[in-house]
Amino acid sequence: MKCQEFSPRKSVERSLARWWIVVLLMIMGGIIGWIFHIFQPPIYEAKAVLTVNIDFGSSHFSQYEEDHAFSAAGAIVNSSEVKGLVITEAKADGYSLDLNQIQKEFSLERKQSVWELRVRDRDPRIAADLANIWAKNAFIALNTALGHALRADQLKNQNDNSDNSELAKEKILSVGIISSMSFGLTEFAVAPEKPLLYGQASMVMAGALIGFIISLWAVNNLRVFRCD
C-alpha cells in the first residue's frame, strides 16, 4: 500500500467538497457557546458620570495645559488614593472589596468632557452602590485639587509674593488641575435591570472556532499521512 503525504491543497478541496459539514459544525459550536453563556451567572454594570468643564473665556492656559488638565482629572478619579477611600467606605457599608477586585470590576471611560465610572458585580444593587461611592470620593478629590489650584493662582497674583515655597506646595497639591476647571457629579448610578451581554460574542465565536476545527478533523480524518 502506497502512503501519500498530507497535502494542504487536497485538504482544502476535501473541506470545500464537504462544506456543509464545516458549516453545520460551526453553527453547532456557536450554539453550544451561546448556551454555555446563558448558564453563566449574570453580570450587571452600573454607571455614574462626572463632568469636567473648563471656562475657556477666562482661561489663560495653553492648549497643552488644558489637555494635561483633563488627563490629570482622569488620573485623580482613577488614583490609588481615591480607590483606597472607596475600599474603606465600602467596607464600612458592609461590602467586601479590595484593590484586586477594583482592578477587575471598575473601569473608567472618557467621552470628551465626561468621565463614566463603571462598576460590574453579580448583584445590581452592589454595582450601583460601589459606583456611587467611587464617584463621590472622586468628586471630593477633584474639588480638593481645584482648591489648591485656586490658592496657587491667588499666591501667584499677589503683588508681594515672597513665599515661593507655599506657591510650589499648592501647585504640587493641585496635581495638574487648573483654576478655570469645574466639576459636576451629573449622574448617579442606579441598579441596572438587565445583565450585560458581556462575553456572549466571545463564547459564540470560540464555539464556532472549535466547531470549525472539529469539522476539519471530520473531513480529513485527522491523518497527516493518508494511505490509498
Q: What is the pLDDT of residue 10?
A: 72
What is the residue type of 78? N
Q: What is the pTM of this model?
A: 0.71
Q: Tens of pLDDT along 148-205?
A: 999 988 888 876 555 688 888 998 999 989 888 999 999 999 999 888 755 567 777 8
pLDDT the model gives residue 200: 66
What's 162's DSSP letter?
-
Task: Output the CA–CA distances (angstroms, integers) from residue 133 to 55, 83, 91, 152, in the order listed.
Answer: 28, 10, 11, 29
Q: Please identify which residue in the block is written with the cell numbers 495653553.
A: 62
pLDDT of residue 227: 46
The residues near 1 (Cβ < 8 Å, ≥ 6 apart) are 227, 228
Positions of the chain with pLDDT under 50: 1-3, 222-228
Distances (CA, A) of 6 to 64, 91, 111, 218: 61, 62, 53, 15
Q: How far apart are CA 135 and CA 90, in angstroms?
A: 12
Per-domain residue ranges of the chain: 3-40+198-227, 44-187
Instruction: Show Cβ contacts of residue 145 under 8 Å, excluding neighbours closer than 6 positions.
Output: 72, 76, 173, 174, 175, 176, 177
- Amino acid identity at 129: D
pLDDT, position 33:
73
What pLDDT does 68 receive?
84
Calpha distance 68→178 (Å, rounded): 9
Among residues 136, 132, 139, which one has the least CA distance to residue 46? 132
Helical packing angle, 124-157 and 80-92, nearest 10°: 130
